Structure 1
Amino acid sequence: MTDRGNRRGADRTEDIMRTALALGQEIGYARLSIEAIATRAGAGKHTIYRRWPSKGALLLDALLSLHGPDLDYPDTGDVAADLRQQIHAAIDLLSRPPFGPVFQALIGEAQHDPQVAATLNERFIRPQTEKTFARLKTAQQQGQLAPDFDLDLGMALLSGPLYYRFLVTQEPLTPDYVDRVLNALFTGMGPRPETATPGHGA
């Protein structure tokens, strides 16, 4: 295929993805179908199915390809400040369409579509988890966190309250809430003063 043909194919793929996101926002995930996307995009239904096996796979690809978040961690030497900055950026992203509503719908879809679950984990959840773990590990090596603190547990304690509010109670994820979670977390993760040895000290 020529470069011009490749460009046309890429443009067509992007057009279908943008159509899927726009239509999903208009009518909601439950009512969205490959057929409706094909009609709106002026594409053949079989053309879409050759690229994406389901509407969930199409929306996930569209979301991460067109609105992929840049959520790398800064490293200022202050792990609490760095986590705060990155998580504030993440909740700002989740508060805006199309990312927030579509991401919420795709997490629901992932519960019964193994392919969507695997792709969501591979392209978004695992990379973000690895970035967070790496930042915590560096902080631990620098003495900002207790050397014996279980960083896998720290990840769960950090992400659990955020996903709980985003998915279960659907209360707003606010900077104040994030700060409260971080303050509680770092109370447990921070370096602990050594217990005085009996017979030493006052």
Structure 2
Amino acid sequence: MSPRKPTGAAVLQPEVTQAITDAVLDELAEQGYGRLSMEAVAKRASVGKSALYRRWSSKQEMVTAVVSEFSVARADVEDTGSLRGDLLLTLEAFHEWITHPQFSRIFPDLVAEGARTVEQAERTRHAIGVPRRERAEAMLRRAIARGELPGDTDLEMAMDLLAAPMYWRLVVRQAPLGPDYLDRLADLFLRALGAKV
């Protein structure tokens, strides 16, 4: 979800937008979604509340836009030409995303908020889940086109499988990863999907 278009003669200054974005992430990490307020974000960013409302119409829209911008870009990985190469980059990017010092405190709170509020769950799914899954699906479709995965691969199941083990280990169990965890996870994924590599 992109920021609102300014009305009248208002011009959105990139440095102000960045200060607000940083403030939103800081407030989310420190206070959580439920206690975050537009007033606190404006104060932390050293701007008036009007600077926020020129960009977003509500707290919900602001949080969704900022977290989406932070999260979706981190799912962009280059095409290495092989499924295993793409898979390792994707797993590394996923690991960096959910262990980011700031975002690792935000993500569980957003998941919990989504469990409490259907509207917020839908916002998060559409702004973050859908575009991240589109990138994963593109990786899998490239592998099918190269003959590395069967043509009838269940893409929905494969995408769930891609994210679930690390999410479970790091977020739910809060267990550390061993030095070769990502390599072993990539190999497990390849075996589970019957990859030809």
TM-score norm. by structure 2 comes to 0.74
Amino acid at match of 2:154: D
Deviation at 1:128, TM superposition (A): 1.4
Q: Which moved more, 1:141-150 or 1:130-139?
A: 141-150
Q: Counterpart of 2:142?
A: 138
Amino acid at match of 1:134: A
RMSD: 3.2
| SS of residue matched to 1:7 | coil
Whether 2:83 is the aligned partner of 1:79: answer yes
CA contact (8 A) 2:88 2:182 kept: yes
- Are residues 168 and 81 of structure 1, via their aligned partners in 2, closer, same or farther at CA, if it must alter by over 3 Å? same
Q: Counterpart of 2:166?
A: 162
Partner Cα distance (1:68, 1:151) in 2? 19
Whether 2:64 is the aligned partner of 1:60: answer yes
Partner Cα distance (1:174, 1:69) in 2? 26
Q: Counterpart of 1:195?
A: none
Whether 2:160 is the aligned partner of 1:181: answer no
Q: Report percent identity of matched pairs.
A: 28
Greater relative contact order, per chain length (Cα 8 Å cut-off, separation 6+): 2
Deviation at 1:67, TM superposition (A): 6.6
Partner Cα distance (2:127, 2:118) in 1? 14
Whether 2:43 is the aligned partner of 1:43: answer no
- Are residues 148 and 23 of structure 1, via their aligned partners in 2, closer, same or farther at CA, if it must alter by over 3 Å? closer
Q: Counterpart of 2:130?
A: 126
Whether 2:53 is the aligned partner of 1:69: answer no
Amino acid at match of 2:76: D
TM-score norm. by structure 1 comes to 0.73
Structure of greater Rg: 1
Deviation at 1:31, TM superposition (A): 4.2
Q: How many residues align?
A: 188
